Structure 1
Amino acid sequence: MGVRIIAEILRPIGDIARALDSIANIEFKELTLAKGQYLYLVRICEHPGIIQERLAEMIKVDRTTASRAIRKLAANGLIERRADEVNKKIKRLFPTEEGKQRYPLIQRENRYSNQIALTGLTTAEADTLAALLLKVRNNVAGDWEYVKKGNRRHY
């Protein structure tokens, strides 16, 4: 596989991600969710009690970016930090009632976006695409971890 083929795969993935993120950011402004915060709120609703480091890993962002988004969500009353029952230094993240009320709308938008994205694909094609994208994500995850730890890739 040459570089040309890789660019043809990664560029459309980036285009899709940026387009859907832009749409969500515009549509979720009315929910007092600033740029990209919906991603954090969804993961916290799906994993109540998650710690910030694990959340950052799930979303594939650095700690500083995650910390900023979490601070804003807490300031807007959508999530709360609670000390771990065993280790008080560990802060666990939970959605507030207000945060939980926003979750269904975000889920509906996600289902709709998936439906639009898969328009014209058969069920088999959609399943194959999903499986292949998981493989691609897993391939990239190793490099993400490596670089996140301060290493440089050699290409």
Structure 2
Amino acid sequence: MPQQKANRFISILYRYSQRYFTQHLRRIDCPIEVGEMSCFLQACRHPGISQDGIAANLYMDKATVARTLQRLEHSGYIRREPCETDRRMNLIYATDQAEPIFRQLQELIEQYHQMLYAGMTEEEIQVAVQMLIRMKENVSRTLRCRQEEDQEER
């Protein structure tokens, strides 16, 4: 029997999570789309974070974050304020209009985690999380090394 590969199940879990949140966001009539959730949550959890900070925290492309923040700003859920120490940078803040949505999303995420971890002990959850973190770090380190090699070749 072939060995099971973790990345297959990580990918499946990602797709399932997208479906779960899409269905539940519709069910609660939430105006935030699943693709906007991460940036929205970063703005709510980290008032005054920069756009680059959001991209770094989420391991997302800066252009994708910029487009998402633009939609959230247009919808009235975030606002940008110029940074006093670096006028080229804007700081991101959630608006008052975002607060009730943020609470809904926190509750939805908690429900998702309860479902995800059903039947698991706290120790099993911690072991699984630590293994996933190590896998992420392995891939990140390899990508950084290859990027450095590519830059040296140029």
Compute the TM-score of the two structures, normalised by the length of structure 2.
0.84
**Structure 1 counterpart of 2:125:** 126
Give, in angstroms, the shift of residue 74 of structure 1.
0.3
Give, in angstroms, the shift of residue 25 of structure 1.
2.6
**Structure 1 counterpart of 2:5:** 8
**Structure 2 counterpart of 1:25:** 22
Distance 1:147 1:53 in 2: 22
Distance 1:38 1:27 in 2: 13
Q: Residues 141-152 of structure 1: matches in 2 within 5 Å?
A: 141-143=140-142, 151=150
8 Å CA contact 1:62–1:148 kept in 2: the answer is no
Distance 1:83 1:33, change over 3 A: same
Gapped regions of structure 2 (runs ≥ 5): none
Compute the TM-score of the two structures, normalised by the length of structure 1.
0.84
* RMSD, aligned α-carbons: 2.3
Distance 1:105 1:8, change over 3 A: same
Distance 1:147 1:54 in 2: 23
Q: Residues 24-63 of structure 1: matches in 2 within 5 Å?
A: 24-29=21-26, 30-63=29-62
- The letter of the residue matching 2:117 is L
Gapped regions of structure 1 (runs ≥ 5): none
Instruction: Specify the SS of the correspondent of 2:5.
Output: helix
% identity of equivalent residues = 19
Distance 1:79 1:39 in 2: 13
- Structure showing greater radius of gyration is 2
Count residues with an aligned counterpart: 148
Q: Residues 92-107 of structure 1: matches in 2 within 5 Å?
A: 92-107=91-106
Give the stretch that moved more between structures: 16-25 or 61-70: 16-25
- The letter of the residue matching 2:16 is A
